[in-house]
Amino acid sequence: MSGVGNLFVVVAPSGAGKTSLVGKLLAADKNIRLSVSFTTRAPRDGEANGREYHFVDRATFERMIAAGDFVEHANVYGNYYGTSRRWIEQEIAGDHDVLLEIDWQGAQQLQKLFPHMVGIFILPPSLAELERRLQGRGTDSPEAIAKRMASAREEISHVLEFPYIIVNERFEAALTELQSVVRASRVTRAQQSVRLSKLIDEFR
């Protein structure tokens, strides 16, 4: 069987629970590889280079942009973030699924390069609940929360651009839906026509 992996792109506003859902999905499914982005922001306490992000300086990042090393990149709150083109292509060719956690702008860039990508949007049950979750973190000032809420409204305005939409009201239910999308995507015609090409040819 030939190798071809899926590219899963998960988008959500901050506080919707995307990171927790993706973490559980990855722990249960070892064939999905999480793409580790490059960034120019400084590491936070507990973060390790190559695990949460590849941390580089601005000059290095800009050289990588010029060399075409990224499939998508963006400037978020003054820091660059980008996704390695070579790594994604190698993993997909090796029949591994790849998952990216990015914003809607990055998803639009990726769609042009990988038209068969599987876009998944994670919604909070309401804006009021989203604000409550952000406040419950206890890590952001009221001004920062207001900025995140404004960003969330902008992000959510693009929700209907995604073929899969999951509401994270009850975590376990949302996780089940996310896993169902992954499983169904592995047996689409586009995937199986490559993976099972020899078998299909036997019946012709």
The answer on pLDDT for 2 being more than 70 is no
The answer on pLDDT for 78 being more than 50 is yes
* Among 47, 21, 16, 46, CA closest to 32: 21
**What is the percent of the chain with per-residue pLDDT over 90, rounded to a whole number?**
72
- Which pLDDT value is given to residue 3? 58
Say what the pTM is.
0.86
Q: For 82-99, what is the mean pLDDT?
A: 91
User: Which ranges of the chain does DSSP label H, i.e. alpha helix?
Assistant: 18-28, 58-66, 85-93, 104-113, 127-137, 142-156, 171-185, 189-195, 197-202
Q: What are phi and psi of 101, to 5 degrees?
A: -105, 105
CATH of 7-35+97-202, one of 3.90.1150.10, 1.10.10.10, 1.10.3730.10, 3.40.50.300: 3.40.50.300
Q: Which structure tokens are listed for 32?
A: 């999905």
Q: For 99-116, what is the mean pLDDT?
A: 90
Q: Which structure tokens are listed for 163?
A: 């073929």
- Domain ranges within the chain, ordered by starting residue: 7-35+97-202
Q: For 52-70, what is the mean pLDDT?
A: 95
Q: For 154-174, what is the mean pLDDT?
A: 97
Q: What is the largest CA-CA distance in the chain?
A: 65
The answer on pLDDT for 181 being more than 80 is yes
Q: Name 74's bridge partners.
A: 81
The answer on pLDDT for 199 being more than 60 is yes
Tokens 């990171």, residue located: 19
